Amino acid sequence: MEMRKRLLGAEHPDTLISMANLAVIYWQQGHWNEAEKLQVDVMEINKRLLGAEHPDTLISMANLALVYKKQGRWNKAEKLEVDVMELRKRVLGAEHPDTLTSMGNLALTYWQQGRWNEAEKLQVDVMEMRKRILGAEHPDTLTSMANLALVYKKQKRWNKAEKLEVDVMELSKRKLGTEHPDTLGGMSNLAVTNRKDGMKQNSCRLM
């Protein structure tokens, strides 16, 4: 990064890549302040040089939102993720893969705050669009289904969660094989759901 700054300048695209890469290292080490500073610098330079709607600017905004989430600064993270989602909808369209990723990220932010209804609505939209565009067996579609199941589990809607997790598991088995990590993950998620639902039913019978 320092050599690129000296040779190419502080605002050269390659310098910005180095800054973003270093920010990721800080992020993975839990050095949030250092990561935040670099991500803010990259975002502001991209905005000034490329414009607010450029893909590189939107990526830097999404990365900064991740730093804020790790810090528990939900309002700042949500604001950035809403901006990214709305800009991608306008520039790329509501069904573009990058737009759907943004919607999924925002849904996760709502999920982490316990805002289940808002998380559910976004996850349902993402899942349905991915089913229509990519097909029911695409890995991204399966991820959306699993994420929606997590929302249902947090709401204790065990039947809806189980239905989705069974579908994910069966589709993963057929598409990826029974020993694939994603299939095994789906089986594990379903087992947890069945255990929780069983505990709830046993509690009801005891009452």
CATH code, 19: 1.25.40.10
114 inside domain: no
108 inside domain: no
pTM over 0.95: no
Same domain, 205 and 129: yes
Query: Which residue among 51, 83, 115 closes a domain?
Result: 83
Cα angle 51-48-25, degrees, rounded to a multiple of 5: 95
The answer to whether 35 touches 26, Cβ cutoff 8 Å, is yes
When divided into structural domains, the chain yields a total of: 2
Same domain, 70 and 130: no
The answer to whether 74 touches 113, Cβ cutoff 8 Å, is yes
89 inside domain: no
The answer to whether 80 touches 62, Cβ cutoff 8 Å, is yes
92 inside domain: no
Whether residue 176 has pLDDT greater than 60: yes
Predicted local distance difference test score (pLDDT) of residue 204: 37
The answer to whether 169 touches 163, Cβ cutoff 8 Å, is no
Confidence of residue 198 (pLDDT cuts 50, 70, 90): low
Interatomic CA distance for residues 182 and 163, integer angstroms: 17
**How many Cα atoms sit within 13 Å of 166 on the Cβ side?**
7
Same domain, 130 and 61: no
Confidence of residue 4 (pLDDT cuts 50, 70, 90): very high
7 inside domain: yes
169 is in which domain, residue-wise?
Answer: 125-207
User: pLDDT tens digit string along 9-45?
Assistant: 999 999 999 999 999 999 999 999 999 999 999 999 9
Same domain, 186 and 134: yes
Same domain, 67 and 7: yes
9 inside domain: yes
Q: What is the mean pLDDT of residues 85-108?
A: 95
- 162-176 exposure pattern, b = at least 16 Cβ within 10 A, e = fewer: bebbebbbebbbeeb
Angle subtended by helix axes 116-134 and 139-154, to nearest 10: 160
Distance from CA of residue 47 to its chain's centroid?
Answer: 23
16 inside domain: yes
The answer to whether 145 touches 164, Cβ cutoff 8 Å, is yes
159 inside domain: yes
Mean pLDDT of the chain: 90
The pair phi, psi for residue 25, each rounded to 5°, is -65, -45
The pair phi, psi for residue 67, each rounded to 5°, is -65, -45
Whether residue 207 has pLDDT greater than 60: no
Query: Which residue among 83, 117, 135 closes a domain?
Result: 83
User: pLDDT tens digit string along 104-124?
Assistant: 999 999 999 999 999 999 999
Same domain, 7 and 61: yes
Query: Which residue among 52, 83, 114 closes a domain?
Result: 83
